[in-house]
Amino acid sequence: TGDTSTLTAALASLDTTVAGVVAGGGVAGQTFTLTQGLDTITGTSGNDTINAFAFNSVTGADTTTLQSVDTIDGGAGTDTLNIEVKDGDADAATADLNNTIQGTISNVEIVNINNAAAASAAAVDATTLGTAVQQIWQISKEAAVTKLAATTTAGFKDLATAQTLDVAPADAAATTSVAFNNVAEGSTLNVVATATGTLAAVNVSGTVADTNANGTVANTNVAVTVGKDVQTLAVNSAVATNLTITDGAGTKKVTTIDASASTGAITYADTETTLATVTTGSGKDDVTVVTATSKTAGSVVNASVTTNAGDDKVTVNVTGDGNTTIDTGAGNDTVAITGRGTSVLTVNLGDGTDSFTSSVAILGTDAIDAGAGTDTLLLSLVGSANVGAFSNFDVFDVKGMTANLDLDILNAKNTVTEIVGSAALAATLSTGTTAANVSLLNVGAGVNFRATADMAYDSTTATTGTPAVDAGYNQGTLTLTQKTAGALTVTLDADETGTADTTIDTAATSVIASNATSLKAVFDTSYLATITGETTTGDNVSTITLNGAAATSLEVVSGGALSSNVLVYTDSASTTGKLASMTITGDRALDLTFSASGTSSLATVDASAQTGGLTFSLANLKDTGTVKLGSGVDHITVTNVSTGAATAESIQGFEKALAVSVSTATADATAKAAAIADADTLVLASGYVASDTTSTTGLTIAKGVVTFTGSGPATLADAVTLVDTALSSSTAGEAVVFEYVGNSYVFVNDDTATTGVDSLVKLVGITGVTNFVEVNTGTTGTGVDNFFIV
């Protein structure tokens, strides 16, 4: 038909910026339209437009208008030829209309080939468009471009799916330029010189579309075959590129890639062992070199990688006896050495937050300079023989360590600000072996430890290689000994990343603070939200195992999105414990286990500012010690360590449950369950609520609550004696609550005799208790031995 909407719309949206690259002064020209017959077009001195629509201008029938007899001379200015290609027949028996570049074309600078209505695109011989052409654009569909001059850009526009784009430069063209406009991500660009070609430079510009709308744009694959005997390839890419190279005809190999002008990310991981020098630009580059180096006179080969600005990654896997030099410039860079030669390795990480790793030995003759910024060093690489190789590192990583290290040996050239653990201490384990225990000596003042990943593993599933991760099992322990004893913070900051899955996710670390005088444990691990099918039991658990031999105080921050936190703390002082107080804050639940190697000195556990809830046992709290609870749901285990009024431990902030928690009304079932779930509880092993009684001298018992009769006891000791006597004929485990002088007390009879070992705990400030309730009165199940008050 005569409908020109498809071509008109495509041309209207063509990137004016790209067209402006060769704009010729902005002089207005004329518009010419080809006919189904012979056309002779002579352009003006302005910017003319020549349209080759695929229809008969008289009848409106589809037809070819770009004829072999046509002559098109664009004249002066920047002239544009628009060619509409249209399917010639629904059954494909007839060739597409206007799909052959024919006629005589000259002095036209921009050619737009619109294949939107074509059955397929046809190859484009750039020489058929004249020597003046500067841009050749294929729209919607594409085919190979051949004999492309160095002065001409091959353009591709509006390709909705990933395509393979083939461009062949003319033999005389040392440079090939390609432009993208809304090209699908993941496309492949092949730029291939002929056996007699001279190609030595490739330019890629324009935009690539996020076709799957996932927020990231996949790299474009750019494969370059250079010209004959070309040894240096220049790449200037504005788009993220996966670069591969193929040597040209002749005997010489590519030894250098110069992508220093590129602003797009360059990823290069080819297998060219002859490639010795790689330079990239300002993008987020990822370069792997496998150079076969040599110091042999007359054939010296040294490996060199320079990545300039950008957050770059360099992997070195070279061989031979030549030197290797890596310079990553500014940006947050990572250098990983997976293989090296026998000569000198020089690494300059430059400005930024950088990291350096190696799976092979670093020699004393090497130079690994972290430069400015905050930079991370794997301590497993360091020993007395090579310590001089490392300089300007700030963060030390204990990942993979198997031997102790005195940090003083690094002080001459490095200033450590933090110690981290990005993985387990031992790099490998054999089945059944014990995890590595590693000591760091002379830790400086203000230098703390942060686990940035799960540092636990399960050796029962490991044979060789990296063990399977399994929180808390066979976990290696890191001992930190400060040069001058003082404060030390241990943080677990191992965030779950990526996409939520059904795997159980946990994180753990184990630290011995041998001489720190005060400690702080920080839980800061965030987990992803639970998804359908995910097991929740044991999921999202963060565990810090902490041992202090000299600390008198411990501060705990229980945070981390969706985390259930566990702290296992041991006061390892051999005789009398050192730890006197704990302070707990945070909005996440904390399960706290405390033990002492000697006599406990822990007098106060203050969780009054915590909102997440505390689970804790009074077993190793010092006699007369106090636990202060916050606004969360708390669970406190009461033991028989304290046996009398003079030594009873106290709980402050224990909250009574709502009255609906003991309602028997059917209508209250939902509210009752919610109230019980929100109640603070006491855990009384094998406990049960005492039976009601009115026959005991001096008191009555109803719903587990004691009411003293008469004038009541004169002292707390008298009150305990009255209660103990009342329960002495009962089965062990019978429990009651009684009130005395503004406080309530929970008493558990642990023996049938009044001389037995009973349990007593003070609930500070609690009065008016009307019910003492076991959550679940069955012999098994959730809530057994858990009690709340109303």
Residue at a domain's end among 583, 601, 619: 601
Instruction: Report if residue 582 sits inside a domain.
Output: yes
Residue 445 structural domain = 404-497+506-526+539-601
As a whole number of angstroms, the distance between CA 516 and CA 584 comes to 19
Per-residue burial over 475-495, b = 16 or more CB atoms within 10 Å of its CB, e = otherwise: bbbbbbbbbebebbbbbbbbe
The pLDDT assigned to 464 comes to: 46
On the question of pLDDT at 268 being above 60, the answer is: yes
419 and 482, same domain (yes or no): yes
Q: CA 451: distance to chain centroid?
A: 14
DSSP string, 371-433: -SS--EEEGGG--TTTGGGEES--EEE-TT--S-EEGGGGTTT----EEEESS-S-S---TTP
Instruction: Report if residue 382 sits inside a domain.
Output: yes
pLDDT in tens, 355-368: 999 999 999 999 99
Instruction: Report if residue 304 sits inside a domain.
Output: yes
435 and 552, same domain (yes or no): yes
pLDDT in tens, 484-528: 999 999 999 999 988 888 888 899 999 999 999 999 999 999 999
451 and 596, same domain (yes or no): yes
- The count of structural domains within the chain is 3
510 and 582, same domain (yes or no): yes
Token pair listed for 699: 């008191």
pTM of the model: 0.82
Q: Are 519 and 542 in contact (CB under 8 A)?
A: no
Cβ count near 342 (within 10 Å): 11
User: Which residue has 């653990």 as its token pair?
Assistant: 421
Q: Are 392 and 375 in contact (CB under 8 A)?
A: yes
Residue at a domain's end among 601, 620, 648: 601
Token pair listed for 107: 């002095």
346 and 425, same domain (yes or no): no
Q: Where residue 472 falls among pLDDT bands split at 50, 70, 90? A: very low
Residue at a domain's end among 393, 428, 453: 393
Instruction: Report if residue 317 sits inside a domain.
Output: yes
431 and 387, same domain (yes or no): no
Token pair listed for 315: 């992997």
422 and 341, same domain (yes or no): no
305 and 367, same domain (yes or no): yes
As a whole number of angstroms, the distance between CA 122 and CA 83 comes to 12
DSSP string, 670-682: HHHHHHHHTS-EE
701 and 566, same domain (yes or no): no
User: Which residue has 């400030």 as its token pair?
Assistant: 765
As a whole number of angstroms, the distance between CA 652 and CA 632 comes to 13
- Phi and psi (nearest 5°) for 318? -90, 165
State mean pLDDT over 404-415.
95
User: Reduced to 3 states, what is the DSSP secondary structure of residue 278?
Assistant: strand
The pLDDT assigned to 524 comes to: 98
273 and 312, same domain (yes or no): yes
- Kindly state the greatest CA–CA separation across the chain: 126
416 and 559, same domain (yes or no): yes
The pLDDT assigned to 732 comes to: 84
State mean pLDDT over 247-253.
96
Instruction: Report if residue 447 sits inside a domain.
Output: yes
588 and 686, same domain (yes or no): no
Instruction: Report if residue 512 sits inside a domain.
Output: yes
pLDDT in tens, 208-221: 999 999 999 999 99
353 versus 436: the higher-pLDDT residue is 353
436 versus 544: the higher-pLDDT residue is 544
Q: Are 654 and 629 in contact (CB under 8 A)?
A: yes
Instruction: Report if residue 696 sits inside a domain.
Output: yes
On the question of pLDDT at 755 being above 70, the answer is: no
As a whole number of angstroms, the distance between CA 74 and CA 654 comes to 91
User: Reduced to 3 states, what is the DSSP secondary structure of residue 718?
Assistant: helix
State mean pLDDT over 693-718.
94
Q: Is 670 exposed, middle or buried (0-12, 13-18, 19+ CB in 10 A)?
A: exposed
Token pair listed for 222: 């750019």
Cβ count near 204 (within 10 Å): 23
Instruction: Report if residue 190 sits inside a domain.
Output: no
The pLDDT assigned to 782 comes to: 59
